[in-house]
């Protein structure tokens, strides 16, 4: 459903400087599976998601290399016309900030209905309403009819995020790209929504790219997990394998920082230091200035991904 091949992207910074935000990314999502993307704030998760559908402002792009295919169709350098048919029809996008993606002056029914009309201008009112209600139900609204006339500001943060989900699901796309879709939702609703999404993957063959900085959340929904650090993939593999047997020091550090995943009553340890900005990355391994296992080679040469198990790859000189 999704193939990203040797994709690199350089954006333009505030002072006109080059920002290499993504470097040589290779990823794949098979039909009916979910790939989780993990990484700290600023690692490039949203930029990667937006690149898939050509959603980044053209003026902010310095250069890009490589290819991205959605269901066999190339989206890199595709025309707006081609991208528009892919957006919504083939791919539904759940944005990180529901408030900026929704029109504050539109009722929920109009907001979600508009997506249907955009792809089928001749749709009847009854068909549209049926589709809207079905999408709301699939996004966890118990009595969707009650919310059709609500405006975004009348909904809680969690409900707005579910409404975004409904907008993404309404055209029954084959692939959903969900960028931190559960961050504004309390823990209980989060579990419910993840269950619902996983259901859609297993029952309807939906494919999904699920972005979260929380590996605990990713474990519960993903088949595979890819860990992004400073625009570089440092590890990818089966979700269980990544959580139970992380190989890259960064993945291991992310797991130790998660209270729920730390076993034997050890206290969670936050990772020391901060993520370097894209224009001040260390020369060798991108994690070398924070890594506890660093040695000479790490600061002089960038490691590439190498296979360590079935579908499990790690970019680290120690492995």
Ligand X SMILES: Nc1ncnc2c1ncn2[C@@H]1O[C@H](COP(=O)(O)OP(=O)(O)OP(=O)(O)O)[C@@H](O)[C@H]1O
Min CB(13)–ligand X separation in Å: 6
For residue 112 the two structure tokens come to 């979600």
Cα distances (angstroms) measured from residue 273 to each of 98, 239, 270: 30, 26, 9
Could you say which of 20, 39, 54, 173 contacts ligand X (CB under 6 A)?
39
Min CB(14)–ligand X separation in Å: 8
* Nearest CA-CA partner of 292 in 316, 258, 313, 264: 316
Min CB(68)–Mg ion separation in Å: 18
Site string for ligand X, 3-22 (x = CB under 6 A): --------x-x-----x-x-
* Nearest CA-CA partner of 215 in 259, 258, 273, 180: 258
- What does 11 interact with, of ligand X, Mg ion, none (CB < 5 to 8 A by kind)? ligand X
Please give the Cα distance from 291 to 263 (Å, whole number): 22
**Could you tell me if 35 and 27 are in contact, meaning their C-beta atoms sit under 8 angstroms apart?**
yes
280 sits near ligand X (criterion: CB under 6 A): no
Residue 299 per-residue DSSP state: G
**Residues near ligand X (CB under 6 A), total:** 19
- What does 17 interact with, of ligand X, Mg ion, none (CB < 5 to 8 A by kind)? none
Min CB(46)–ligand X separation in Å: 3
DSSP 10-37: EEE-TTS-EEEEEEEEEEEE-TT-EEEE
Could you say which of 10, 43, 182, 232 contacts ligand X (CB under 6 A)?
43
Could you say which of 20, 36, 44, 303 contacts ligand X (CB under 6 A)?
44
**Nearest residue (CB) to ligand X, 131 versus 179:** 179
Min CB(315)–ligand X separation in Å: 18
- What does 39 interact with, of ligand X, Mg ion, none (CB < 5 to 8 A by kind)? ligand X
**Could you tell me if 222 and 210 are in contact, meaning their C-beta atoms sit under 8 angstroms apart?**
yes
**Nearest residue (CB) to ligand X, 21 versus 316:** 21
278 sits near ligand X (criterion: CB under 6 A): yes
- What does 42 interact with, of ligand X, Mg ion, none (CB < 5 to 8 A by kind)? ligand X
Min CB(133)–ligand X separation in Å: 31
3-class secondary structure, 236: strand
Q: Which residues from 207-236 bind ligand X, rule CB under 6 A?
A: 213
**Could you tell me if 49 and 213 are in contact, meaning their C-beta atoms sit under 8 angstroms apart?**
no
| Cα of 163 vs its chain's centroid, Å | 18
């Amino acid at each position: 459903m999704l193939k990203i091949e040797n994709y690199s992207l350089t954006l333009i910074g505030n002072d006109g400087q080059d920002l290499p935000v993504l470097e040589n990314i290779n990823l794949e999502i098979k039909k009916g599976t979910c790939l989780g993307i993990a990484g700290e704030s600023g690692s490039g998760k949203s930029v990667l998601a937006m690149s898939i559908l050509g959603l980044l402002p053209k003026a902010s792009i310095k250069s890009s290399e490589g290819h991205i295919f959605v269901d066999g169709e190339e989206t890199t350098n595709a025309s707006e016309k081609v991208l528009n048919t892919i957006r919504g029809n083939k791919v539904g996008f759940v944005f990180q900030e529901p408030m900026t993606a929704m029109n504050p002056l539109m009722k929920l029914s109009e907001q979600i209905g508009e997506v249907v009309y955009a792809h089928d201008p001749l749709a009847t009112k009854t068909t549209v309403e049926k589709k809207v209600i079905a999408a709301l139900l699939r996004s966890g609204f118990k009595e969707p009819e009650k919310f059709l006339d609500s405006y975004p500001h009348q909904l809680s943060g969690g409900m707005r995020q579910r409404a975004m989900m409904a907008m993404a699901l309404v055209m029954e796309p084959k692939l959903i790209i969900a960028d931190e879709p559960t961050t504004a939702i309390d823990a209980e609703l989060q579990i419910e929504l993840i269950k619902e999404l996983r259901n859609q993957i297993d029952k309807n063959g939906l494919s999904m790219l699920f972005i979260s900085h929380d590996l605990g959340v990713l474990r519960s929904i993903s088949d595979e997990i890819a860990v992004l650090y400073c625009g570089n993939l440092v590890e990818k593999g089966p979700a269980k394998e990544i959580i139970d047997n992380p190989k890259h020091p960064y993945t291991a550090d992310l797991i130790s920082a998660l209270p729920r995943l730390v076993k034997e009553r050890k206290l969670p340890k936050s990772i020391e230091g901060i993520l370097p900005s894209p224009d001040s990355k260390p020369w060798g391994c991108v994690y070398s200035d924070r890594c506890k296992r660093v040695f000479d080679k790490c600061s002089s040469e960038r490691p590439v991904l190498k296979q360590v198990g079935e579908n499990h790859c790690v970019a680290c000189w120690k492995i």
